[in-house]
Amino acid sequence: MNRFCARQLCLSAYDAIGFDLDHTLAKYNLINQLQLTYDSIIDYLVKVKGYPETMRSDLHTHKDFIAKGLFIDTERGNIIKISHSGKILRASHGTHMLPQDKLTSIYGDKLIWEHFNEARDTVRARCGEGKFAFWDNFFDVPGIIVCAQLIDYHDKQNNGPLDSYKSIIWESVPAALSHNYWFEYFGANKGYFFPGIKSRPEKYYRPCSDRLKQWLKDLKKLNKCVFLTTSSHIDFASLTASSVLGPDWKSYFDIIMSNARKPGFFRDNKPFLSLDGIKECDSVPYTDLKQHGVYSSGNHIDLEKFVTKLTGAETPKIVYFGDSLCSDAYPVKTMTNWDMVLVLEEMEAEGYHPEHEIQEKSYAEEESFVLSEIWGSFFYHPEEDPLHNRHMNTFWGELITKYCDIAIPSVEYIANLPLDHKFPCFVHEEDGNTDGFSPAKPKPLLNN
């Protein structure tokens, strides 16, 4: 039994329930989306940066290299997985895995990564004066494969390792992602990502079930404020939401915020902006925010005032669903008083105890892109568990315990349950605590 007081989360107790869009409410046909992202990065490198077309390959050949949350040491050209205490668990130079003796010769006998404290304390994907970066969502995780390919390419051209890969990395993959996701390119049908997804949305989006749609309607009937907060601009968000919820997608929400620029929505005090079509217009004070309104930008403080106005709750209790530890969970738990539900596909991919059966069945091929034998479990590294207590001991596992209240594999799962269902929460004070996984802990965290 935990020495800390166990806490439960119950949706019926909240005044407002908020959702991220991409990879939260909106589920993608993951393999197609990952391939499109990979191709769009390679297209940029070939057509803009002049790299050879031979760099391109079928993503299926690299699927075991895909893993969310890997760091890249941009000076050394090494890709690393780290523990909750900063120890380097596994690493590669480019696509080539590094043996233990090579790792210790680079990072010392204790294998503690020198940028760990900054990465843990800031949870920012691009930090450390450019000396490291990480990719924590499926929109950019193929970038880690391209980084590895670039390192291999330059090593071959140089007949050996370079003194630094920092400028090569930053001028290629992050630059490609910024180029391809530039908001104006959606309407202009430019870049190498948006034209593909616009031409065949049915190839990339997975429609929400009728059960989930009814669940959203039921939340509103109970006088809950149901809101959508997405970093996508309204044109891309409209394509996504209409593809998964239908042409009446706006009717599911009491207020919609696009271009929220998370984590800026939680950190900054940017005003809500009115929209004329897709054009951002005048700022809107919280007193003028309208139910069923669609806005751009905004901030959580004014949103809370809107919730108070709508529900009558003087200090509204709010819970938020999102998929990113970096732009959702961390700012929610450090900058607001909200509770946090993490939507985490790795839970289902890494499996459940046989007595727990989830209604929404995974696609086996997609799971093969989420799981990685090369990098191991997202949650757990057995060599770092001498007591065999099966607590989470990876960098990201520790952040789940610290910044999330519960974790679920999909919103579809929770829509199956009554609104007064009580979910056990993670115990934030206990390192690596696993109590908040629902419907069950991933298999690597179970005692055999």
pLDDT of residue 127: 63
How far apart are alpha carbons 311 and 73 in whole angstroms?
Answer: 48
User: For the chain, what are the domain ranges?
Assistant: 1-26+208-351+377-448, 30-198
pLDDT of residue 67: 93
Strand pairing report for 16-19 and 318-322: parallel
pLDDT of residue 166: 96
How far apart are alpha carbons 319 and 311 in whole angstroms?
Answer: 15
* Average pLDDT per block of 10 residues along the chain, 448 residues long: 68 97 96 96 98 93 92 96 96 97 97 94 75 91 96 97 96 96 96 97 97 95 95 98 98 98 95 96 96 97 97 96 96 97 92 49 73 94 85 95 96 93 95 94 86
Active site residues: 20, 22
Q: Where are the alpha helices (DSSP H) in 171-298?
A: 173-180, 184-188, 194-199, 201-204, 210-221, 234-245, 264-267
How far apart are alpha carbons 30 and 15 in whole angstroms?
Answer: 33
Compute the radius of gyration of the chain from its Cα atoms: 22
Beta-sheet strand order (sheet of 126-127): 96-97, 88-93, 78-82, 71-73, 132-134, 126-127
pLDDT of residue 384: 86
SS3 130: helix
Q: Does CATH place domain 1-26+208-351+377-448 in 3.40.50.300?
A: no
Tokens representing 396? Answer: 């990201």
pLDDT of residue 349: 87
